[in-house]
Amino acid sequence: MYPVLRKSIFMTRSILLFLIFFQVLSPFANSQKLRKADKEIISELQADIGSLTNDKMEGRRSGTSGEALASDYIIGGFIKAGLKPLGDSGTYLQRFEIYDGRDITHTRFSINNADLILNTEFIPLPFSAIGKADGSPAIALQESGSPWFYDLKETVEAAQSNPHFDMDKLLREKTRLFEGKGATAVIFYNSSKTDDGIVFDPAEGIKPEKIPVLYVTKAGRKKYLRDISQSLDVVIDVQMLEKKRWGHNVIGFLDLGAPYTVVIGAHYDHLGYGEDGNSLYRGAEKKIHPGADDNASGTAALMELARLLKKTKNLRTNYLFIAFSGEESGLIGSKYFTEHPSVALSKISYMVNMDMVGRLNDSTHVLTIGGYGTSPQWATLINGTLNKKLFVLNADSSGTGPSDHTSFYLKNIPVLFFFTGIHPDYHKPTDQPDKINYVGEMEVIHLIYDITQKMDGMNKPVFVKTRDKQFGVSPAFNVTLGLMPDYSFSGSGLRIDAISEGRPAEKAGLKAGDIIIKLGDYSVISLQTYMEALSKFNRGDQTTVEFLRDKAEMKAAVQFK
Smallest gap, in angstroms, from Cβ of residue 496 to Zn ion?
23
In the chain the first and final C-alpha atoms are separated, in Å, by: 31
Residue 160 to residues 147, 167, 454, 522, 538: CA-CA distances in angstroms? Answer: 28, 11, 61, 20, 27
Q: What is the dihedral of CA 167, 169, 170, 171, to 10 degrees?
A: 90
354 binds Zn ion (CB under 5 A): no
Residue 295 is given by DSSP the state I
Residue closer to Zn ion (CB basis): 1 or 348: 1
Residues 532-551 that bind Zn ion (CB under 5 A): none
Residue closer to Zn ion (CB basis): 220 or 358: 358
How far apart CA 275 and CA 425 sit, in angstroms, is 18
Smallest gap, in angstroms, from Cβ of residue 295 to Zn ion?
7
Smallest gap, in angstroms, from Cβ of residue 512 to Zn ion?
25
Strands 234-238 and 131-135: antiparallel
Q: Which residue is nearest to Zn ion (CB)?
A: 1
Q: Interface mask (CB under 5 A) for Zn ion, residues 145-184, using x and -?
A: ----------------------------------------
Give the interface size with Zn ion as a residue count (CB under 5 A): 2
Residue closer to Zn ion (CB basis): 1 or 213: 1
Residue closer to Zn ion (CB basis): 123 or 356: 356
510: CB partners within 8 A, 6+ apart: 481, 483, 496, 499, 516, 545, 547, 556
Smallest gap, in angstroms, from Cβ of residue 294 to Zn ion?
4
How far apart CA 143 and CA 121 sit, in angstroms, is 24
Smallest gap, in angstroms, from Cβ of residue 323 to Zn ion?
14
4 binds Zn ion (CB under 5 A): no
Residues 280-309 that bind Zn ion (CB under 5 A): 294
Q: Which region, left, alpha or beta, applies to residue 314 given φ > 0 means left and ψ of -120 to 50 means alpha?
A: left
263 binds Zn ion (CB under 5 A): no
Residue closer to Zn ion (CB basis): 58 or 294: 294
Residue closer to Zn ion (CB basis): 294 or 456: 294
Residue closer to Zn ion (CB basis): 1 or 250: 1
Smallest gap, in angstroms, from Cβ of residue 37 to Zn ion?
31
Residue closer to Zn ion (CB basis): 294 or 396: 294
126: CB partners within 8 A, 6+ apart: 101, 102, 200, 201, 202, 203, 204, 205, 206
Which stretches does DSSP call E strand in 294-391? 318-324, 348-354, 366-370
The answer to whether 371 and 418 have CB atoms below 8 angstroms apart is no
The answer to whether 544 and 555 have CB atoms below 8 angstroms apart is yes
Smallest gap, in angstroms, from Cβ of residue 193 to Zn ion?
41
Which stretches does DSSP call E strand in 463-527? 483-485, 494-499, 515-519, 522-523
The answer to whether 399 and 466 have CB atoms below 8 angstroms apart is yes
Smallest gap, in angstroms, from Cβ of residue 326 to Zn ion?
12
Smallest gap, in angstroms, from Cβ of residue 10 to Zn ion?
16
Residue closer to Zn ion (CB basis): 156 or 296: 296
Residue 370 CA to chain centroid, in angstroms?
18
Residue closer to Zn ion (CB basis): 209 or 396: 396
Q: Is 341 helix (H, G, I), strand (E, B) or coil?
A: coil
Stretch that binds Zn ion, among 1-9, 21-29, 113-121, 297-305 (CB under 5 A): 1-9
The answer to whether 271 and 120 have CB atoms below 8 angstroms apart is no
How far apart CA 65 and CA 56 sit, in angstroms, is 9
1 binds Zn ion (CB under 5 A): yes
Residue closer to Zn ion (CB basis): 236 or 280: 280
Residue 214 to residues 190, 445, 456: CA-CA distances in angstroms? Answer: 12, 55, 61
Smallest gap, in angstroms, from Cβ of residue 372 to Zn ion?
21
415 binds Zn ion (CB under 5 A): no
Smallest gap, in angstroms, from Cβ of residue 269 to Zn ion?
9
331 binds Zn ion (CB under 5 A): no
Interface residues toward Zn ion, by CB under 5 A:
1, 294
